[in-house]
Amino acid sequence: MKIFVLGAGMVGRAIALDLSKRHTVTSADISIEALDVVSRYGVKTVKTDLSNFAKIPELVMDADIVVSAVPGFMGYKTVETLIKARKNVVDISFMPEDFMNLNDLAISQGVKVIADCGVAPGMPNIILGYHNQLMEITDFFYMVGGLPKARNYPFQYKAPFSPVDVLEEYTRPARCVENGKVITKPALSEPELFRFEGIGDLEGFNTDGLRSILKTMSHIPNMKEKTLRYPGHIDLIQALKSTGFFSTGPVEVRGSIIQPLEFTSKILFSDWKLKPNEPEFTVMRVEILGNENGKRKKYTYDLYDEYDAETQQWSMARTTGYTATAAVNLLAEGLFTKKGVFPPELVGSEPNCFMYILDYLKARKVIYKKSEVAV
């Protein structure tokens, strides 16, 4: 098939290269440097400003499926434009808006859209959707982090995505479900330590990662998500946040008007940017507790993935990108045929899709280790 990938950043590049093994792929981005990398692997490239949404329909005219790997602030308008162009879409922009508002439009245009289809959101949703068909779930919890192996001070962090998207995650209020009620808590709140074998202690804190699950799985009484960082990172972020460095309001500096958030993002970009071949890893744990066949059971899925020196692909690019390419191939092979906009949990609710995605990832050495215990 002809696949068009919008965005050639770290994750967009991994998506394009993986899909090029089976399909004819074109990658679009404004960065010549990013396009040069994918072109070395036989991927066609187009230099364009993807924020000019009016150009997108002509750009993707011949595509069978389009992957949207643009920054979050561009995600909603990009997907809306693609739906109007009658294109099937897999989206990993992780837009702040509710993508389900585009469902009626997608149905009317006769297209399929799978949104939020990355490592997280993405795989926890898919796992939850599968088990929701098999048991009465009472508790759902997942924690996830992408971190450098070298703990370089002060932040001990590298941003796999753009710093703007990371900082937005640190400022958006976090929603969770407690005793059947949706509760909103400040981002970065309720920090606690978790120990992981081979890693040590990581600090988890509330972020707004449940997203579509809040509606599609509203029958589950307890649900939460936390982001993982090295201990100490959250204190620095809280200091920046409390002193106004994340503000979006205008500030005058020597006659010039700046936005503190843009300034902070610009400064942090150089400190947080992964260097070529810099080792990093992704860690995630998904826990599902409930009643199955009259017994109380707990299922746990653990992911630990590292930078792949052989393919020179960072872990966060692999774990996010390959989940998206699995979804692309679900559509390409006709395994998922429903029209409309779908969050990953509704894709995972179909057993054949769930197993296909896990097998697809395993073939690329992204392995989710499953365990279960009676409780």
Residue 164 pLDDT > 80: no
Q: Is the dihedral of CA 324, 326, 331, 336 positive or negative?
A: negative
Residue 161 pLDDT > 70: no
Among residues 254, 275, 306, the one where a domain terminates is: 306
How much of the chain is helix, strand and coil, in % rounded to 5?
A: 35, 30, 35
Q: Taking Cα atoms as reference points, which of 375, 355, 367, 369 lies closest to residue 130?
A: 355
Which positions ≥6 away from 58 have C-beta within 8 Å? none
Residues 174 and 251 reside in one and the same domain: yes
Give me the torsion for CA of 292, 293, 296, 300, rounded to 10°.
-40
Residue 298 pLDDT > 90: yes
**CATH of residue 248:** 3.30.360.10
Tokens of 46: 């187009």
Tens digit of pLDDT for each residue in 183-227?
999 999 999 999 999 999 999 999 999 999 999 999 999 999 999
Residues 152 and 294 reside in one and the same domain: yes
C-beta of residue 225 within 8 angstroms of C-beta of residue 207 = yes
The rounded distance, in Å, linking the Cα atoms of 345 and 204 is 23
Q: What is the pLDDT, as a whole number, of residue 56? A: 97
Q: Which residue has the tokens 């790997």?
A: 69
Among residues 272, 288, 306, the one where a domain terminates is: 306
Domain limits at 106? 2-117+315-366
Q: What percent of the chain has pLDDT over 90?
A: 88
Residue 162 pLDDT > 70: no
Mean pLDDT, rounded, for 347-367:
98
Mean pLDDT, rounded, for 324-334:
98
Q: What is the pLDDT, as a whole number, of residue 292? A: 97
Residue 115 pLDDT > 70: yes
